[in-house]
Structure 1
Amino acid sequence: MNLKSFLTEYGEKVPGYDVTVINEREARAAAGILGTLGMIVIFVGIGFNHIIVARVYLAFLFFDFSARMISPSYSPSLLLGKFVVQNQKPEYVGGLQKRFAWTLGWFISLPLVWWFVLHWDITFYKVMLCVLCLLLTFLESAFAICVGCLIYKLITREDPKHCPGGTCEIRVKEPIQMFNPLQKIITTITITGLIAGTYLFFAYEEPKTFFGEFLHEAVLTDAQLQAQKDAAYDKEMEAEFGDEEGE
């Protein structure tokens, strides 16, 4: 493979497609695998301070994205995804925009290797970068939304070919895709409830791990945090000296 073909072709040549493509079903399965492993690492590995779990996962993530930038044929997670969906009909999407998206994933994983694999230095904002990775894998696996592909379109100012879910084609929504007024209300209430419930949980439930403490501090203002500390201090003083004052 020469340099020109490396830069302009990525994936497989399939009859009927004018660009090289990859199987989107394999990509979404791989994203689901990485996302699931990442959730386990955050809520079990980091939550219980098992450092080795996080280090192994992030090293694997970096290696996996490095392999993806070169060729999708040798990425461990894509091969696992291929194994899982091998009996499903392929859904072909353009390869170049997917490689661009995975290159962005590689750039995100690079500082994570430095912070957590080579030098364990955990902070809230560094963990949030891990959460961003999980969010991107979730969007790809659950909804076929490739954020990197959208960025690719903005940078190149060209419409990519063969996007996941046919989003590249200009079309009118079919009736089944439209929302009636009642559906809009239910959807709005559901989204609002999820956001409010998540905020209230992180803001007012006592965190049990340092990761939970990170999230707790992130959703509150400095004034709210100080008010909580003052309330906890007053409660502690009352518990310690309350009986003496009553006498």
Structure 2
Amino acid sequence: MAKVIQFGEQVAGYEIPVLNEREIRAAAGLLFLVIFMALIFILFRGNFLLAKYAITLFLTDFLIRVFISPRFSPSLIIGRLVVRNQVPEYVGAKQKKFAWTIGVLLSGTMFILMVLINSYSPITGLICLACLIFLFFESAFGICLACKLYAFFFREKVQYCPGEVCDVKSRHAIQKTSGSQLAVVLGFVAYIFLMGLLFNNQFHKEPHNLFGAGSAGQQPVKTQALR
């Protein structure tokens, strides 16, 4: 039973229990996709069905992670299968448990408000947005935003962070950003605004079928009856 209910794995060379960051990122990407699709259904169709399923599954998955073991989390198992041929990147389990506990609180609140009470409000909207931000940063950048709060609350050094960001060290040359590179980013932002100003009308035109006889969405011309 002790091996079933545990948080993190003991790996040779690591002093504390660790988890594989690669499968965590893969699982975060999967959860982000599901929640994002549920949000699309709400915004464009007013359909909350997928959202209710997603919230229930999200809560169940995180309860398994925190109170049983991450090794039995369905999303992490799928993530492990996806990245099974990649070299593991080990991260400390403590801060991940803290982050996933926050996930339990957020998804639990959503479950009560949206599934049990069957309601929606700015509260559910903000929680959904927060979850999307957390999952996006984890999957896209390997940054666990909730993990950064761990050291603040527990006042202890965090070990084995993704990308070794916990260790104070100088950046390699390839990691440094020059002034010209920053200027390129600012220029690109200006280019986006300029493009919106110059091509706004063109972008709003409905495209036509290149290989069809008529334009997409074009209504047939109605002939007026002779008086």
Secondary structure of the structure 2 residue equivalent to 1:121? coil
The correspondence for 1:27, drawn from 7, 21, 24, is 24
State the one-letter code of the partner of 1:57: A
Identify the residue that residue 48 of structure 1 maps to in structure 2. 45
Q: If each structure's helix is expressed as a fraction of its own residues, which one has the higher value?
A: 1
The alignment partner of 1:148 has SS state of coil
Cα deviation for residue 190 of structure 1 reads: 4.5
Q: Distance in 2 between matches of 1:120 and 1:192?
A: 44
Give the residue type in structure 1 aligned to 2:50.
Answer: V
Taking the TM superposition and a 5 Å limit, the aligned residue runs for 1:37-116 are 37-70=34-67, 71-116=69-114
The one-letter code matched in structure 2 to 1:50 is N
Unaligned residue ranges in structure 2 (runs of 5+): 196-227
Deviations 1:199-223 (A, max 9, x none): xxxxxxxxxxxxxxxxxxxxxxxxx
Using the size of structure 2 for normalisation, the TM-score is 0.78
CA contact (8 A) 2:38 2:48 kept: no
Match of 1:175 in 2: 173
Per the alignment, residue 223 of structure 1 pairs with none
Which of residues 114, 120, 123 in structure 1 aligns to 2:121? 123
1:166 to 164, 167, 188: 164
Q: What do residues 102-130 of structure 1 show as CA deviations (whole Å, max 9, x unaligned)? A: 00111111110011111221123421210
Q: Residue 194 and residue 127 in structure 1: after superposition, are their counterparts in 2 closer, same or farther (change >3 A)?
A: farther
Residue-by-residue CA offset, 1:175-217 (whole Å, 9 max, x unaligned) = 111111111122244467779x9xxxxxxxxxxxxxxxxxxxx
- Between 1:132-141 and 1:181-190, the stretch displaced more is 181-190
Query: Residue 113 of structure 1 aligns to which amino acid in structure 2?
Result: F
**Runs of 4+ in structure 1 displaced over 3 angstroms?**
188-195
Secondary structure, counterpart of 1:179 in structure 2: coil
**For residue 232 of structure 1, what is the aligned residue in structure 2?**
none
Matched, 1:151 2:156: no
What is the alpha-carbon distance in structure 1 between the residues aligned to residue 189 and residue 61 of structure 2? 34
1:145–1:193 Cα change, 3 Å: farther
Residue 113 of structure 2 aligns with an amino acid whose one-letter code is W
Q: SS of 2:45's equivalent?
A: coil
Question: Does the Cα contact within 8 Å between 1:46 and 1:54 map onto a contact in 2?
Answer: no
- Equivalent AA in structure 2 for residue 25 of structure 1: R
Partners in 2 of 1:97 and 1:193 — Cα distance? Answer: 40
State, as a whole percentage, how many aligned pairs show the same letter.
Answer: 36
Distance 1:65 1:189, change over 3 A: farther
In 1, Cα distance between equivalents of 2:192 and 2:143: 20
Q: Distance in 2 between matches of 1:87 and 1:138?
A: 23
Give the TM-score, by structure 1 length: 0.72
Does the C-alpha gap of structure 1 residues 135 and 185 become closer, same or farther in structure 2, counting only changes over 3 Å?
same
Structure 1: tracts of 5 or more residues without a match:
198-247
